[in-house]
A and B are shown apart, each in its own frame.
Chain A
């Protein structure tokens, strides 16, 4: 056989070029750092969930009367003789306030986003964007304070009702709170629509509004839906403002002037005064798990909607 020489003691030339240099080591280190950074965030989230679940899940599955929990409006956790843990009124409270908030926030935020992204130019646009971001930075306790000290007397005087801490108040406050974030996300979604689409439509003789309505909104609709869903999630999870502005009374509402109590506010108000490990304590954690699941589902839906957009693009 005439096999080519194997050069068993001469290393191939490439061996000399293949050196591990500084850039290679830096790259490896950075890769590990980023990996641990990412992993730790996930570990924290899982840790929090495991903690909450360990406090409430076992109890919720084995001992809690889930029928009562979901369908009874009687929330009497501190009753000596016969405590009941019906969360229906609390769920209704959260849902009604969040729903009313969205009635306010969706038109406001989408309108603002369309105006900023499509119609405003130059300084107007920059100023509006800064304003919206400033609004988003107002702490929720300040919103709660506004609800308590400004909206409350305003509602009492305007509508001639005995108490101004109710769905109307909390819904307005919460709507105004959620709107800036929704505006920012919706505006990003509109910005992501390529300018070529606008130019092409406008070149065909479409008016500015036709361009927005026929081309930009359909193209950005997934991002807009995601913005709304994130706003809904925000409204469900908000605590301080609803604690201060809902009136905090356990009650299935029949009008916007009714006071209600939200899930989050209940946890915030009661957990500190509940003996660790008691049934009441565990039920509060069950409320937490329920809230977590709802917001998780909303965020997941938002995420899937955005992914849907990427796939179609």
Chain B
């Protein structure tokens, strides 16, 4: 490595490369011809009003199109250089990509088992290894102190904000390289939202994060680069600061971040 700081555009390897991504449900187009790059160790924000195709984008990345029978994906999504559609072992792909859904899905298991599930699925049996993973993931999700005395109680008994941090801990338990968050703060109070945002800033040192958010200011606080989706179109991909200082190619982007529609 050279000692001078490299130019920002090329500073990090590309982790996800999307080319001409088109998503349809039946004959209805949910996302059309999207191309963008996501770099290692960045938080990549995706903003846009409801039904603009943000969730569909995440689904395609994680190959959850399998679960929606009418969903059809065209174009390329290269993850570590390999098109996700050419992965034969989807389970291996998904275990590299953690997902956090808009509404926390506390599986009907104990707090401990929620976090230990993924490691167990991939064959970790040793109790002390599991203990270690559970504690580390709950720590990283800023939940450990609140639940360390009741790891055996049901995950679904926690408050909404705690459950959402539990799902983050669960997503981290598989040591993902990429974390997808879909409007995680919808069911979370502002204080918890801030806690989770701090968690994400920490996590970014280790993994890449794609943050779909309906809160424009959240993208501003967290994202390095941000894409603006509108009714199935990717209107803009820019450095987040540019988006907010008005250096945009499309006036609709400025209107949206300034709250003139949405």
* A interface, CB within 8 angstroms of B: 121, 194, 196-207, 210, 214-215, 218-219, 312-313
Min C-beta distance of A14 to chain B, whole Å: 40
Mark each residue of chain B from 159 to 178: 1 if its CB lies under 8 Å from any CB of chain A, else 0.
00000000100110010000
Q: B97: which A residues are within 8 A, CB to CB?
A: 203
Contact indicator A204/B171 (Cβ below 8 Å)? yes
Q: A312: which B residues are within 8 A, CB to CB?
A: 108, 154
B69, B94, B108, B121: the one within 8 Å of A203 (CB): B94
Q: B25: which A residues are within 8 A, CB to CB?
A: none
A121, A194, A206: the one within 8 Å of B91 (CB): A206
Q: A121-B69, A200-B101 are in contact. Are A205 and B121 (CB under 8 A)?
A: yes
Contact indicator A197/B69 (Cβ below 8 Å)? no
Q: B91: which A residues are within 8 A, CB to CB?
A: 205-207
CA distance A301 to B64 in the complex (A): 40
* B interface, CB within 8 angstroms of A: 62, 64, 66-67, 69, 90-99, 101, 103, 105, 107-109, 117-118, 120-122, 154, 156, 167, 170-171, 174
Q: B108: which A residues are within 8 A, CB to CB?
A: 197, 215, 218-219, 312-313
B67, B121, B167, B170: the one within 8 Å of A214 (CB): B121
B101, B117, B170, B174: the one within 8 Å of A199 (CB): B101
Min C-beta distance of A122 to chain B, whole Å: 8
Residue with the highest number of chain A CB atoms closer than 10 Å, among B66, B98, B99, B105: B105
CA distance A121 to B69 in the complex (A): 10
Q: B167: which A residues are within 8 A, CB to CB?
A: 200
Q: Which residue of B lies closest to A206 (CB)?
A: B121
Q: A202: which B residues are within 8 A, CB to CB?
A: 64, 66-67, 94
Q: A121-B69, A199-B67, A312-B154 are in contact. Are A204 and B105 (CB under 8 A)?
A: no
Contact indicator B154/A204 (Cβ below 8 Å)? no
Q: Which residue of B lies closest to A221 (CB)?
A: B108
Contact indicator B92/A205 (Cβ below 8 Å)? yes
Contact indicator B94/A196 (Cβ below 8 Å)? no
Min C-beta distance of A199 to chain B, whole Å: 6
Contact indicator B107/A203 (Cβ below 8 Å)? no
B66, B94, B103, B156: the one within 8 Å of A204 (CB): B94
A121, A196, A201, A205: the one within 8 Å of B103 (CB): A196
Contact indicator A204/B121 (Cβ below 8 Å)? yes
Contact indicator B174/A196 (Cβ below 8 Å)? no
Min C-beta distance of B69 to chain A, whole Å: 7
Using A200-B101, A204-B117, A218-B108 as known contacts, list a sample of 18 further A-B pairs with CB atoms less than 8 Å apart, ordered by residue number in A.
Answer: A121-B69, A196-B101, A197-B108, A198-B67, A199-B101, A200-B99, A203-B97, A204-B121, A204-B174, A205-B90, A205-B91, A207-B91, A214-B120, A215-B107, A215-B109, A215-B117, A219-B108, A312-B154
B69, B95, B107: the one within 8 Å of A205 (CB): B95
Q: Which residue of B lies closest to A193 (CB)?
A: B108
**Can you identify 23 A-B contacts, CB atoms within 8 angstroms?**
A194-B105, A196-B103, A196-B105, A199-B67, A199-B105, A200-B107, A200-B167, A201-B107, A202-B64, A203-B64, A203-B94, A203-B97, A204-B98, A204-B121, A204-B174, A205-B92, A205-B94, A205-B121, A205-B122, A206-B118, A210-B121, A215-B109, A215-B117
Contact indicator B101/A204 (Cβ below 8 Å)? no
Min C-beta distance of A304 to chain B, whole Å: 19
CA distance A229 to B220 in the complex (A): 57
Q: B107: which A residues are within 8 A, CB to CB?
A: 197, 200-201, 215, 219
Q: A197-B107, A219-B108 are in contact. Are A203 and B99 (CB under 8 A)?
A: yes
CA distance A198 to B105 in the complex (A): 10
Min C-beta distance of B42 to chain A, whole Å: 22
CA distance A200 to B121 in the complex (A): 13
Q: Which residue of A lies closest to B96 (CB)?
A: A205
Min C-beta distance of B221 to chain A, whole Å: 26
The 8 closest A-B pairs by CB, nearest first: A205-B95, A205-B94, A200-B105, A203-B99, A219-B108, A196-B105, A205-B91, A204-B118
Min C-beta distance of B37 to chain A, whole Å: 23
Q: Which residue of B lies closest to A121 (CB)?
A: B69
Q: B120: which A residues are within 8 A, CB to CB?
A: 214
Q: A206: which B residues are within 8 A, CB to CB?
A: 91, 117-118, 121
Q: Which residue of B lies closest to A213 (CB)?
A: B121
Q: Which residue of A lies closest to B170 (CB)?
A: A204
